[in-house]
Amino acid sequence: MGRARVELQGKVVAITGGARGIGFEIARACASAGMKVMIADLDEAAVQHAITELGSGVVGRVVDVRNDHEFAAFLEAAESELGGLDVLVNNAGLLKMGPLVSASHDDIRLQLDVNLAAVITGTQLALQLFVPRGRGHIVNMASSSSMIATANGAVYSATKYGVLGLTRAVRGELRGTDVRITAVMPGVIRTRMTTDFRSAFSVRTIEPAEVGKAVVRALRKGTPEVFVPSEVGMQGLLFTALPARASDWVKHLTRADKVMS
């Protein structure tokens, strides 16, 4: 039997990277669902602009998710200012495109720290709040790159594979409890991150608002894994199920290996 549908009205959600792009649209969707929202972002001006755009019920803080103390203080602020945290969305992330052979140490380290290490930190901090209470929901933003590794995005793909593995492992640890964890795997979303992407066969570019709506649906239903758009799931299964040479050939044929060029 499936879990009962969750009522989101009045629930408290904290969203990292919430001032722009997908994070902003997740915040908008959560606020529209009646949730109390706290966003975190590194850019103070962007945080203030987002709060103004999103309206009442949304607050924000300047947070560097690479700093464990700042991350913990962000969740503590959501607890104290909004009345107890119900949901954490680990959304903050970045992409540095290019072949691995010429990637700088700083760019590699930055992606590892923001896209993976900070998600591990946030997940652990949220679990330390949720497990004793016996409730709560963590949403980790993975990517279609969690299943479809793309040339010129090797480090990004590695971090997103890691986020998916983390989320699946923790889901096993939470079996039998009412604490939920969800991996969201967007495809190509129209944000600043994907401005330079090339087109590929059967790959749609969709608006970030669609991801926001999908996250809210997952919060209501407790869905463990979400693909946006839905066909990303089938594509991912295809690429992971095929033998390596066949998978590489299909990527080349569909130009999936040229998206991050």
pLDDT one-digit tens code per residue, 86-119: 999 999 999 998 999 999 999 999 999 999 999 9
Pairing mode, strands 12-16 and 87-90: parallel
Task: Please classify residue 168 by burial: count the beta carbons closer than 10 Å to its beta carbon, then call 0-12 exposed, 13-18 middle and 19+ buried.
Answer: middle
What is the per-residue pLDDT for 4?
73
Q: What is the pTM of this model?
A: 0.89
* pLDDT above 80: residue 208: yes
- Rounded distance between C-alpha atoms, residue 87 and residue 15, angstroms: 8
Q: Which residues are catalytic?
A: 156
For 29-118, list the strands marked E by DSSP: 36-41, 58-62, 87-90
* pLDDT above 90: residue 135: yes
Q: What is the arrangement of strands in the sheet containing 12-16, beginning at the earlier edge strand? A: 58-62, 36-41, 12-16, 87-90, 136-141, 179-186, 225-228
Average pLDDT over residues 249-255: 68
Q: Which comes out higher in pLDDT, residue 252 or 26?
A: 26
pLDDT bin (cut points 50, 70, 90) of residue 46 is very high
Residue 76, token pair as written in the block: 């503590």
* pLDDT above 90: residue 21: yes
* pLDDT above 80: residue 257: no
Collapsing DSSP to helix, strand or coil, 217 comes out as helix
**Mean of pLDDT over the chain:** 89
